[in-house]
Amino acid sequence: MLRSPFHVKGLAHPVKVIVRANDSALNADVIRTTFLAWYPDAELEVMA
């Protein structure tokens, strides 16, 4: 798992992360293991 250099893990801030379905670098799996792990109130939207 990647670690945040900003020490945000566990912060209860609402965050919406939007990724494209065909993004090879920051795909939904990467976002799930980073942003969604760091922000428990985060929401992920995958756009076609």
Q: Which is it for the CA torsion 13, 20, 46, 28, positive or negative?
A: negative
Phi-psi region of 39 (alpha: psi -120 to 50; beta: other; left: phi over 0): beta
Whether pLDDT at 12 is above 80: no
Containing structural domain, residue 2? 1-48
- The pLDDT of residue 17 is 93
In the chain, the number of structural domains is: 1
Instruction: Indicate whether this model's pTM tops 0.75.
Output: no
